[in-house]
């Protein structure tokens, strides 16, 4: 009986060890699959491929949601990748991000803008705010059919800079707190800085007047900060946009799965393509 009991506890120990190691193993498998997919796309395009993928809804830590966004670590890594790329090698950057720090996004955008080789930005789902700022640096922007970009107007804490300025303009100054006045002053500076940066990125890609107009429109709070700018509207603005999204990019995004959530998701479907009856008959007849 003692041997049976010892064997049972060994099995329990092995089970817990395997459970603890499983996420680590899965992560390594995913990372290897991503590297293979990136290498395959690089060979097809003869380019440097850089992926910046942020999942906005993430795992909970101590009961608090943790979100990812463009930060200094991202800019450091991307600038390093650009430095390791020859001047004549094209760069393909895959963006899936809600935005983030203007400083980091602008560092990335300026480095891409100065790269002599062609820069293509791929947006399979969304690249908002700072992600859009990076897109403005590209020679070409490729959006999926329903993918979107967004305005680049600065946000100060939870308030749009443009709205803070309007408060100061429309409300008697004696009824405005010093803190709001300070924030509005910072907001004016932030909008002007972002407007100038956007013009700097667009100048040469668009005629000067068009570049100034678009930089102004995107940065001054024309829309709410989460306003979706699709491919058709982006084209109308003068940006070099198309919807020829390679399947390889869409497949790459599948290798960045949504982190585990404590509640069950609201979307479910059986994986794999579905072929219509006519397409199925054509396949049989061929």
pLDDT at site 264: 53
Q: Hey, what's the torsion of the CAs at 111, 113, 116, 118, to 10 degrees? A: 120
Q: State the pTM of this model.
A: 0.84
Residue-wise pLDDT for 16-33, tens only, equals 666 665 566 666 777 888
Walk along the chain (286 residues) in steps of 10 and give the mean pLDDT of each run. 61 65 66 89 96 68 60 96 96 96 97 98 97 98 97 94 94 93 96 97 96 97 96 97 96 80 65 70 55
pLDDT of residue 63: 44
Nearest to 106 by CA among 125, 140, 79: 79
Tokens found for residue 73: 């670590």
pLDDT value of position 30: 76
- On whether the 2-150+228-261 domain is CATH 3.30.70, my answer is no
Can you tell me the distance from the alpha carbon of 278 to that of 262, in angstroms, rounded to the nearest whole number?
Answer: 42
Among the listed residues 227, 204, 55, 243, the one whose alpha carbon sits nearest the alpha carbon of residue 129: 227
In the structure encoding, which two tokens stand for residue 65, read together? 């949601």
96 Cβ contact list (under 8 Å, min separation 6): 52, 53, 54, 123, 124, 125, 126, 127, 253, 256
Query: What pLDDT score does 272 carry?
Result: 76
Please name the helix (run of DSSP H) or strand (run of DSSP E) that holds residue 94, with its range, or none.
Answer: strand 91-96
The pLDDT of residue 143 = 98
Number of CB atoms found within 10 A of residue 227's CB: 14
* Residue-range domain boundaries for the chain: 2-150+228-261
């Amino acid at each position: 009986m003692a041997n049976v009991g010892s064997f049972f506890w060994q099995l329990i120990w092995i089970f817990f060890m395997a459970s603890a190691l499983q996420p680590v193993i899965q992560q390594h498998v995913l990372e290897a699959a991503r590297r293979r997919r990136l290498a395959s796309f690089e060979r097809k395009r003869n380019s440097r491929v850089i992926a910046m993928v942020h999942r906005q809804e993430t795992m909970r830590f101590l009961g608090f949601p943790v979100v990812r966004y463009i930060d200094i670590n991202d800019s450091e890594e991307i600038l390093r990748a650009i430095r390791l790329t020859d001047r004549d090698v094209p760069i393909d950057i895959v963006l899936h991000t809600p935005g983030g720090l203007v400083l980091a996004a602008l560092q990335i955008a300026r480095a891409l803008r100065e790269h002599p080789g062609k820069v293509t930005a791929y947006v399979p789902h969304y690249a908002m705010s700072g992600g859009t700022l990076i897109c403005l640096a590209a020679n070409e922007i490729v959006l999926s059919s329903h993918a979107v970009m967004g305005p680049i107007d600065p946000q100060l804490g939870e308030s749009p800079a443009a709205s803070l300025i309007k408060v100061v303009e429309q409300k008697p100054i004696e009824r405005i707190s010093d803190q709001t006045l300070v924030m509005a002053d910072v907001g004016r500076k932030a909008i002007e800085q972002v407007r100038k940066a956007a013009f700097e990125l667009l100048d040469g890609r668009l005629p000067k007047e068009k570049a100034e107009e678009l930089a102004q429109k995107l940065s001054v709070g024309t829309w709410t900060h989460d306003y979706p700018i699709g491919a058709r509207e982006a084209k109308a603005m003068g940006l070099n946009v198309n919807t020829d999204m390679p399947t390889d990019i869409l497949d790459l995004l599948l290798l960045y799965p949504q982190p585990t959530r404590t509640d069950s998701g609201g979307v479910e479907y059986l994986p794999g393509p579905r072929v219509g009856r006519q397409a199925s008959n054509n396949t049989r007849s061929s």
